[in-house]
Amino acid sequence: MEIISVEGIVISSISYKESSKIINILTPEYGIIGCISKGCKSMKSKLKLPSEKFAYGIFHLYYKKQGLSTLIDGDIKDYFINIKCDINKISYLTYIVELSTDVYKQSMDEEIYKMLISSINKIEEGLDPKVITNILELQYLNYLGINLNLDECVKCGNTKVCTLSISKGGYVCSNCVNNEHLIDPKVLKMLRLYNYVDISKISNLDIDDKVRDKIDEIIDEYYKEYSGVRTKSKSFLKEINENSKINKCS
C-alpha cells in the first residue's frame, strides 16, 4: 500500500457500520477510487467534511489498486456554498456529477474530470446552470461516441443549414430536409458554440431564454434517444424545472 495525495471530488458517499462511510472519489490520475473513511461520522473527525458527497479537494489516502483504499485526511478546496444554498443548483450539481460518472466509466478519459470541475465552478460563480449543463452534455457526446455533426449538413456537407435532425445526427440543409421542422438559425448557431466552447474560459452568458430552452429540449431528446445514459437525477431535475415554472406563473 502506498500513501498518495490526489485531487478529486466525492461522487458517492454511503454509510458503513456505525461510524464510517465508504466513498468514491473521481480523480484525474487514478480514475474512481473506492475508499473507506473510518470514524468520519463523528462530529470531531477530521474526515467528516472530506467524506461528504461533492467534497472537492486534495485527498490523502493509503492507496490500493484493488479493493478499498483508506482515507487518511482531506483538504477541501471549495465548499460550493452558492450552489448548496439553492435547491435548483443542487439538483444540477447532482445530475452533472452522476452524468460525469457514467461518461467516465464508458470513456475512462481524464478530460471528463476537468470538464466536470470547470462546470461546477461556473455554476458556483453564478452562470446559468441549465446552459452550463447543456454545454457539458453536448460535449460529452464526443466521449460517448455519438457526437452530433454541427459543422455541416450530415447528408451533403453543405454549410448553409436550416435545421437539425436527431435521427440523422446533426445539421441538415434545405436541399436535404425531409419532414423535419425548421429550427431558428439562432438556435443552430448557438448549439455549435456550445459544442466548441472551452467551459473553463466562459466568463459570461448572454443567451435568449427561448434559444436556451430550445437547446435544452434538443439535447434532452437526443440523450433519451441515443445515449443509453439516463440518470435518476435528470428526471428529478426536470421535476424541479417544471415546478419552478408553475411557481413563476402563479
Q: Which residues bind to Zn ion, rule: CB under 5 A?
A: 153, 155-156, 158, 173, 175-176
Q: Which residue number, 147 or 158, has a Cβ lying nearer to Zn ion?
A: 158
Q: Which residue number, 36 or 176, has a Cβ lying nearer to Zn ion?
A: 176
We find the least distance from the C-beta atom of residue 126 to Zn ion, in angstroms, to be: 40
Helix (H), strand (E) at residue 193: helix 185-196
**Would you put residue 157 in left (φ > 0), alpha (ψ -120 to 50) or beta?**
left
We find the least distance from the C-beta atom of residue 195 to Zn ion, in angstroms, to be: 19
Q: Which residue number, 89 or 168, has a Cβ lying nearer to Zn ion?
A: 168
* CB 154, CB 117: distance < 8 Å: no
Q: Which residue number, 175 or 235, has a Cβ lying nearer to Zn ion?
A: 175
- The DSSP call for residue 167 is T
We find the least distance from the C-beta atom of residue 15 to Zn ion, in angstroms, to be: 56
We find the least distance from the C-beta atom of residue 164 to Zn ion, in angstroms, to be: 12
* CB 93, CB 123: distance < 8 Å: yes
Q: How far is CA 230 from CA 2, 39, 75, in A?
A: 37, 34, 32
Single-letter amino acid, residue 116: L
